[in-house]
Amino acid sequence: MERLTKQFLRHVGQTSPAPMGITVERAEEIYLYTPDGRRYIDLISGVSVSNVGHSNPAVVEAVKRQADSYMHLMVYGEMIESPQVELATAILRHTPGSIDCLYFVNSGSEAIEGALKLAKRYTGRTELVSFRNAYHGSTHGALSMMGSEYYKTAFRPLLPDVRQIEFNDMAALETITEKTAAVLIEPIQGEGGYVASSPEFLAALRERCDRTGAMLLFDEIQSGFGRTGAIFAWQRYGVAPDIICMAKAMGGGMPIGGFAASYDVMKTLTFDPVLGHITTFGGHPVCCAAGLAALKYIEDNALAESVSAKERLFRSLLSDLPHLKEIRSVGLMIALDFGDEVFREKVTSECVARGLVTESFLFCPTAMRIAPPLTITEEQIREVCGIVREVVEREA
């Protein structure tokens, strides 16, 4: 195992100076198991991916069955592949009525890239607007939309004609104009530390976009597939975007993403120029089969419907923790904000040492992240909260 760790550190490209470095041999439901028999509880779902639990048997079975039939056939969009057709149809039952076409890609960042290109192509405009503390991915276009200069400076020049405005600030909406192609927003900011849009703000943003002809893009890459208590967060707000970006939990643990829009909007990627977005592996049939099994599992087991009772239980068990400044949550996106980075760091390190995999947020280092698989049970929530309480009380 020591050799594996050394090779990991030397040969596997990294961006963190201190990776968690847990060797995982097997994962199941909410648990990760190491070769020496340690068991960890995954409290962050591999960052909002494992909504149906790790190695969900229905997903594994679908992967095997599809791999037996066929894997990659042709660059995306040419052949009729039934896993793509079935997954698109199943997902589009949960999008607004106007959104009836889904373009498959490989990741969240690529979904954002495609959606931004689509908005520019459809509107013929160039200005792109996003929000402070927004995270939309790490490729050049997605990075341009990030709401933190610290992570962008070293990579400039990025996309031109991009602006960040204040989140949940009504006055900032006035700066969206007839020049704006798209406004991209996470209904619940993920890396900002699970900060939710106010319903009034999201409604006003929709209105402003309608008035100016700007397209409204929702990044539901973290909030999608049941995490907030609905399949997508737009359903909770009752505000319909023009384009929805999705990824992460979409593949039930396999890599896939997508952006969905109306057929008429999406069609503009087929002319002037043709092939307006090209992807080789987008909508890989094995990933689509996995995604379909995952979505069916979420629906059949009413996982989204189970989320608010679990959220309430977490809140009731953790709200009175010492040193807690604020607990923010939308469904199973829960942030314990201690208002103190040093204290939070001690807490998360000790949680990991005691077998709880958790971390902080890119733009909110004072808060600890709780976003377990949606399959987590009441008993498991009580166990997790018991450990968190012990750690916090000891560090306090």
**Using CB under 6 A as the criterion, which residues of the chain lie in contact with ligand PLP when the complex forms?**
47, 107-109, 112, 135-137, 186, 190, 219, 221-222, 247
Shortest reach from residue 312's CB to ligand PLP, in Å:
24
Q: Nearer to ligand PLP by C-beta: 12 or 80?
A: 12
Shortest reach from residue 370's CB to ligand PLP, in Å:
16
Facing residues of 196 across strands? 188
Q: Nearer to ligand PLP by C-beta: 127 or 220?
A: 220
Largest CA-CA distance found in the chain, in angstroms, rounded? 63
Shortest reach from residue 219's CB to ligand PLP, in Å:
5
Shortest reach from residue 173's CB to ligand PLP, in Å:
21
Q: Nearer to ligand PLP by C-beta: 135 or 237?
A: 135
Shortest reach from residue 187's CB to ligand PLP, in Å:
10
Q: Nearer to ligand PLP by C-beta: 221 or 239?
A: 221
Cβ-contact 314, 370 below 8 angstroms: yes
Shortest reach from residue 257's CB to ligand PLP, in Å:
6
**Cα separation, 224 vs 284, whole angstroms:** 20
Q: Nearer to ligand PLP by C-beta: 136 or 284?
A: 136
Helices (H), ranges, the chain: 2-11, 45-48, 57-69, 82-91, 108-123, 140-144, 199-212, 233-237, 263-266, 285-300, 303-318, 341-353, 378-395
For residue 36, what are its two tokens? 């020496």
Phi (first) and psi of residue 31, to 5 degrees: -110, 145
Shortest reach from residue 354's CB to ligand PLP, in Å:
25
Q: Which residues lie closer than 8 Å to 118 by C-beta, 6 or more apart?
A: 103, 243, 259, 261, 265, 266, 268, 269, 276, 277
Q: Nearer to ligand PLP by C-beta: 222 or 375?
A: 222
Q: Which residue is nearest to ligand PLP (CB)?
A: 108
CB atoms within 10 A of CB 27: 17
Q: Which residue has the tokens 């199973």?
A: 332
Cβ-contact 193, 159 below 8 angstroms: no
Q: Nearer to ligand PLP by C-beta: 329 or 381?
A: 329
Shortest reach from residue 112's CB to ligand PLP, in Å:
6
Residue in 295, 337, 297, 329 with CA at minimum distance from that of residue 313: 329
Cβ-contact 338, 366 below 8 angstroms: yes
**Cα separation, 194 vs 115, whole angstroms:** 23
